[in-house]
A and B are shown apart, each in its own frame.
Chain A
Amino acid sequence: MSEGITSEKGKVSVVNGMSIMTVGGHIDTMETVDIVFKEQRKLSFTYGAIFFVVTLAVPASSVWVESWYATPIWGGFTWNYLFVSLIYFVFLWGMAWSFSKQADKLDDRINSMADAAEAELKKGGGAS
């Protein structure tokens, strides 16, 4: 273990030229972690792109789109006021709910994959 990693977090060893981390009876291999990372990155950055595009579209519209910021559509509400004071929150809730569900599904898939890789490694006697 390096100085930066506390030993309670797990044991790292190299089996058949492959780095594996063992925590309790469970194993992560660099291969499975890379798959996790790529899938998670795709999910997070896709949602992140949608979030930032929508969020920054609001000030952009406030600067350049007069019908957005200056035309009342319901009493004193302009689209700008209605979006920032109400609709934006619904957008956030929808994003967070959808992302959490997707990430949970991804976790389940990853755990099954990791369990399978773990069983394979244990069968081969590579780790305990």
Chain B
Amino acid sequence: MNMIAVYLVVGLILFTIALSVFSRRFTRTTADFYLAGRKIGAFTNASAISGDYLSAASFLGVAAAVYASGLDGVWYAAGFAGGFMVVVLFIASPLRRFGEYTVADFAFGRFGTNRMRLLTVLSVLLVSMFYMAPQMFGAGTTWQVLVGAGILGMNPYTSGVVVVAGIMMFYVAVGGMKGTTLNQVFQFWWLWFAMFLVVIFAFGSGFSYPDALARQSESKLTGTKTMSVADLTAPIKDPKTGEPVINEETGQPKTAYDNAKATMSPAAFAKVEEVIAAGDETAKVDVLLGQGNKLHTLRTMLFAEPGHRYNPLDQFSMVLALVLGTAGLPHILNRYYTNPSGAAARRSTFWVLIFIGTFYIFAPIVGLAGRGIISDAVSNGTYNATAPVVDGILVKADQLMPTIGLMLGGDWLMGIVTAGAFAAMFSTIGGLLIAAASAIGHDVYEKYINTDASEAKRVAVAKVSVVSFALIALGIGIGIPASGLDKAYPALIAMMVTWAFAVGASAFVPVLLTGIWWKGTTEKGALAGMFVGLSGSISIIFLNILMQLKVIPATGVLGFFGALTFPVIFTFPVALLTIFLVSKFDGKVPDNIDEIWMRIHGTASERHERDVEASIAKAAK
């Protein structure tokens, strides 16, 4: 157990709790609890949005994706950053001008019906749940690497999930948006510097970006996989025809066994042979496999080239999922209501792009550096991390960050990196819990269950919502390993976050874009579009999961949709088209559409707020 890492993580937790307790005095009203009184400045808000946004997927997952997949992994970094352009260009300013608390408020204010608000609430909860799952998985895997031991009779993974969920319940319920914002600012800068330090240490150890990239691209990209003996020795089947793929040289069906034998060192492969010789077909074994190119199938898969993860359709679909998905994340959109004005919302987004952009330039450097540094350490016998490797390649790419921290800077850097990983989880989970709490507490309880509730009661309900949602997330986190998902997908954390992006991009973004920019959008159109986007994206994601778990075949209609790693390329335009067509047929825009338009695009409210602030400043002098 790395005690320095443990002390740093405990210190981070204590500081987090102290900030939340300090912020209690600012959470007496629901505006304070959900929006920190709408008085967060651009720089602070940009730091908090960045903290909200940079989750375990970004801190652990992006470097891991680059480590595992090369260029296709780098797209996560570029796409995650690019998503904020859609926010700044189309959504940030109008959403803030419209005011209110939540995305569901916008839906209700724009379209005027309860069913629209309730469908939006359901969508918020589902997107938040999709986003929460990888944070919980990240908590469990980081705990495994950091502590390596369980507490209260639980295994290490479950202990990590339980501890993180418990802390988050406490700090969000106590600190509300103010406490969460202060924490997110601190946590963002911690994780930014942790990533920065790893990059500095990498360059300090002699890493050269162009040379390392050239070295990794000299030969075929390799990747690890945990397989059963039965799967390892079974013929590989063509996903389209279901027929065995024949090796042209030998005339025999191709197997993963042959691939592993050709790729692995004799010493490493001897261990695989031992497991096979034991005769247990269900025994699991870690192997290193040469990787294929899904984009240019006849080309050798190289680190610096595209194609490890995505076929031609997925190349486009993944980019669209990432750049559109950011604008569909409720916990990010809610933050825009905390800006003092529409212009401040734009300025916040510009700073967000600077902050996260630099972070996302660093992460792929770490992914590339990790490939050389870890394999060199294994080769020369200096590898001292606990994360398992096969021929110098990590079995679980998601363990790259703490491992490379240890390799480059010893226990201290590993400690800083591990605390950074927890900071990333805390900051994002905090935002998600606030979003989910506002969906239940504000959008449902205050609007439907008890409209006359006192402020104290409303805040109490918000806190109960936080605890309830955290408990659900806890259950999901514990259930992930049991489902086998962690073995079905390389770099699962980044993958799961992309699913949340896909659902958000399909359910919210078409409605937000048309609701803001097309006066002719009707309530029925928006309702139909949101339903189509939400149900379509979730269905395709589950088909993909079922196909990866080999529950459904890779052929036929189910196989076609199941093969879509990212459904956005279909679900986004279909949702948009649905809104357009249904609105055209319906033709019933809200009676008060002029009034709504003046709220979204007018400036009277902002000019009034500017006057109020000026008079307050004058009085203060």
Contacts and interface: CB of A to CB of B under 8 A. Distances in A.
Interface string B564-596: 000000000000000000000000001110111
Nearest to A21: B598
Contact of A81 (B304, B315, B323, B607): B304
Contacts of A81: 71, 74, 213, 304
A10 B604 contact: yes
A124 interface: no
Contacts of B217: 72, 76
A96 B74 contact: no
Contacts of B591: 2
A16 interface: no
Given A26-B604, A111-B603, A96 B595 contact: no
B595 A103 contact: no
Given A63-B315, A80-B305, A96-B85, A30 B598 contact: yes
Nearest to B354: A93
User: Looking at A12, A76, A97, which has the most chain B CB atoms within 10 Å of its CB?
Assistant: A76
A110 B606 CA distance: 12
Contacts of A56: 316, 319-320
B604 A28 contact: yes
A62 B295 contact: yes
A24 B601 contact: no
A103 to B, nearest CB: 6
B597 interface: yes
Contact of B209 (A75, A88, A89): A75
A69 B85 contact: no
Nearest to B361: A89
A33 B601 contact: yes
B78 A88 contact: yes
A59 interface: yes
A67 interface: no
A90 to B, nearest CB: 8
B81 A92 contact: yes
Interface in B293-325: 295, 299, 303-306, 312, 315-316, 318-320, 323
Contacts of B215: 76
Contacts of B315: 59, 62-63
Contact of A75 (B82, B208, B350, B601): B208
B611 interface: yes
B350 A97 contact: yes
Report the contact-size class of chain A (Cβ under 8 Å from the partner): 35 or more
A21 B590 CA distance: 17
B188 interface: no
Contacts of A10: 598-599, 604-605
A100 B354 CA distance: 13
A114 B606 CA distance: 12
A116 to B, nearest CB: 12
Report the contact-size class of chain B (Cβ under 8 Å from the partner): 35 or more
A70 B330 CA distance: 39
A37 B597 contact: yes
Contacts of A6: 99-100, 109
Interface string B403-423: 000000000000000000000
A30 B349 contact: no
A19 B595 CA distance: 8
A19 B594 contact: yes
Contacts of A103: 93, 343, 346
Interface in A99-115: 99-100, 103-104, 107, 110-111, 114-115
Contacts of B216: 76
Given A2-B112, A85-B364, A114-B603, A92 B598 contact: no
Contacts of A40: 93, 601
A24 B611 contact: yes
B590 A4 contact: yes
Interface in B493-535: 517
Given A30-B597, A37-B597, A81-B71, A4 B108 contact: yes
A69 B217 CA distance: 12
A40 to B, nearest CB: 7
B336 interface: no
A4 B523 CA distance: 12
A93 B357 CA distance: 8
A21 B211 contact: no
A40 B600 CA distance: 12
A76 B212 CA distance: 7
Contacts of B208: 75
A76 B214 contact: yes
Interface of B: 71, 74-75, 77-78, 81-82, 84-86, 88-90, 93, 99-100, 108-112, 208-217, 295, 299, 303-306, 312, 315-316, 318-320, 323, 342-343, 346-347, 349-350, 353-354, 357-358, 360-361, 364, 517, 590-592, 594-599, 601-605, 607-608, 611-612
Return the 10 tightest CB-CB contacts between A and B, nearest first. A75-B210, A76-B213, A76-B214, A24-B608, A28-B602, A4-B112, A59-B315, A26-B604, A28-B604, A2-B592
14 contacts: A2-B591, A5-B595, A22-B604, A24-B604, A25-B608, A30-B598, A63-B295, A74-B210, A75-B210, A81-B71, A89-B360, A96-B350, A97-B350, A114-B603
Given A9-B605, A92-B82, 13 more contacts: A2-B112, A4-B592, A24-B608, A24-B612, A30-B594, A63-B295, A76-B303, A88-B81, A88-B82, A89-B358, A93-B357, A110-B603, A115-B607
